[in-house]
Amino acid sequence: MSLTAVDRLLTNANVFHARTLLLYYALPDEVDTSLLFEHLSDKTILLPKVIDSENMELRTYTGENDLATGCYGIKEPVGKVFTDFAKIDVAIIPGMAFDRHGHRLGRGNGYYDRLLSKIPQAYKIGLCFDFQIVDSVPVDIHDVMMNDVIIV
């Protein structure tokens, strides 16, 4: 199922024209984005790294050998920290559920909402399986909406 997501992302105009993309390394119940990495070698790929109970920092992905398992069992980059948030063109974001209006239900810690609030210029794409689409998700003032949701 993740191969369909790769095809849709690679043909997405925002992804095609982006120079710097924020991706994620998937948990077992998320769409696998690692399949994209080899197809985006001409772009800067950023992955989040959890640094404490509330925050993530971004690091540049340079290859599989640059990953270590983080505190939630997610592979995270160990390379250079990336802080030039204004350069991020597209952010591809996982979620437990999405609605068709672009609202996202995360895992409850607010990591992505805090991170996404720092990159308002980035085109935000939620990525999910069809069974993760619901009629509505709970929304509060700190939640950041997606510009688009790609469903596979």
Q: What is the pLDDT of residues 132-152, one digit of tens each?
A: 999 999 999 999 999 999 999
Query: Per this entry, what is the length of the chain?
Result: 152
pLDDT at 93: 97
DSSP line for 34-50: HHHHGGGTTSEEEEEEE
- Residue 1 predicted with pLDDT over 90: no
pLDDT at 112: 95
CA atoms within 13 A of residue 41's CA, in its CB half-sphere:
4
pLDDT at 2: 87
pLDDT at 103: 96
Count of other CB atoms within 10 angstroms of residue 91 = 26
pTM value is: 0.94
The stretch 13-37 carries a mean pLDDT of 94
Tell me: the pLDDT tens digits for 62-118? 999 989 999 888 999 998 899 999 999 999 999 999 999 999 999 888 999 999 999
Q: Which residues of 104-120 are buried (b: 16+ CB within 10 A; e: fewer)?
A: bbbeeebbbeebbeebe
Tell me: the pLDDT tens digits for 48-62? 999 998 899 999 999
